């Protein structure tokens, strides 16, 4: 017990020192960590030194982690931050304390589904590491999608509709949750109404879910957020009751990257690429139609026509 107490005290002191020295931005987290890797938490158990965890390593990013497929570490028995869970995949920031690898969830370790910002920074340091929704991935999804738009989130099935009593993860069933939008700009294809519903598949550890519960990420799908959406026409569940005025339904093209923040650097680059030809104009569903041609310098030349 004395050893556990001393380790916990040391980790607490190191955390306080780290917070005093820098923030929780990806650059600071990466610089402070002795070990950085991605992997699936395979086993978590109580040990004489604290919580013992075993990760199946997917990618070694920083520090000496050896070549073994598995990596063992210690966690605090209690944490002020989120608790790591078995069978989820994480981006891990670890510290060496003596001959032990110590992982404190308050020091930046997070679900891979929440690590896009971190991975994008790490890519600038190590090009071998990349976020899941990188430019190459989004460009491919854009080519494969029938429809590409930007749209403002108005709500989700769980906030505006009638959420199910129980929603399983996909795999056990075909599981979706609707998100409701006001369309702002159409880059590819056509949408039949200014307000649309989009079916999103709810799968384990995906970016659009972004958490431990089978529901759309409350951060990504927060009301008022503007997202870049990659869609296909139609609905897997055409008979689903949807609130007015979101009766025009579409399918999310990709369970991970079918919806990304529109002001994200990569999303902006995809949008600009799709605006590159003169026929790609900006369309807004407002009281008036505004068509804007975006020049190479990013400036817009707009013409307004009243409805």
**Residue partners of 258: CB distance under 8 A and separation at least 6:** 141, 200, 208, 229, 230, 231, 252
Q: C-alpha angle with apex 11: 8 to 15, nearest 5 degrees? A: 140
| C-alpha separations of 77 from 2, 53, 84, 99 in Å | 14, 11, 11, 19
Q: Which residues of the chain have pLDDT under 70?
A: 1-23, 49, 79, 277-307
pLDDT tens sequence across 137-159: 999 999 999 999 999 999 999 99
Locus of tokens 């503007």: 226
pLDDT recorded at residue 191: 94
pTM over 0.75: yes
Which pLDDT score is estimated for 119?
96
| Dihedral of the alpha carbons of 269, 272, 274, 278, in degrees to the nearest 10 | -160
How does pLDDT run across 250-269, given as a tens digit for each residue?
999 999 999 999 999 899 99
Q: How many residues does the chain have?
A: 307
Q: How far apart are CA 50 and CA 45, in angstroms?
A: 9
Question: How much is the CA Rg of the chain, to the nearest whole Å?
Answer: 22
């Amino acid at each position: 017990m004395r050893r556990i107490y001393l380790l916990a005290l040391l980790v607490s002191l190191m955390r306080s020192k780290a917070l005093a020295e820098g923030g929780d931005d990806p650059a600071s987290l990466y610089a402070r960590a002795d070990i950085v890797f991605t992997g699936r938490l395979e086993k978590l158990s109580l040990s004489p030194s604290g919580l013992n965890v075993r990760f199946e390593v997917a990618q070694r990013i920083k520090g000496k982690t050896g070549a073994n497929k598995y990596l063992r570490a210690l966690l605090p028995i209690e944490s002020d931050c989120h608790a790591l869970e078995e069978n989820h995949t994480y981006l891990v920031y670890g510290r060496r304390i003596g001959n032990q690898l110590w992982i404190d969830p308050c020091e930046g370790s997070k679900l891979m589904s929440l690590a896009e910002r971190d991975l994008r920074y790490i890519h600038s340091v190590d090009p071998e590491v990349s976020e899941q929704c990188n430019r190459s991935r989004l460009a491919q999804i854009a080519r494969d999608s029938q429809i590409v738009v930007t749209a403002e989130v108005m709500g989700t099935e769980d906030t505006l509709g009638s959420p199910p009593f129980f929603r399983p993860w996909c795999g056990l069933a075909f599981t979706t949750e609707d998100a409701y939008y006001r369309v702002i700009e159409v880059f590819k294809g056509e949408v039949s109404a200014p307000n649309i519903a989009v079916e999103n598949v709810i799968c384990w550890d995906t970016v659009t879910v972004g958490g431990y519960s089978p529901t759309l990420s409350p951060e990504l799908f927060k009301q008022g957020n503007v997202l870049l959406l990659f869609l296909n026409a139609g609905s897997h569940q055409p008979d689903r009751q949807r609130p007015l005025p979101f009766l025009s339904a579409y399918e999310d093209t990709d369970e991970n990257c079918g919806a990304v923040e529109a002001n994200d650097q990569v999303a902006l680059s995809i949008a600009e690429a799709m605006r590159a030809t003169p026929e790609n104009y900006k369309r807004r569903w407002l009281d008036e139609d505004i068509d804007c041609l975006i020049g190479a310098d990013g400036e817009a030349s707009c013409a307004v026509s009243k409805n």
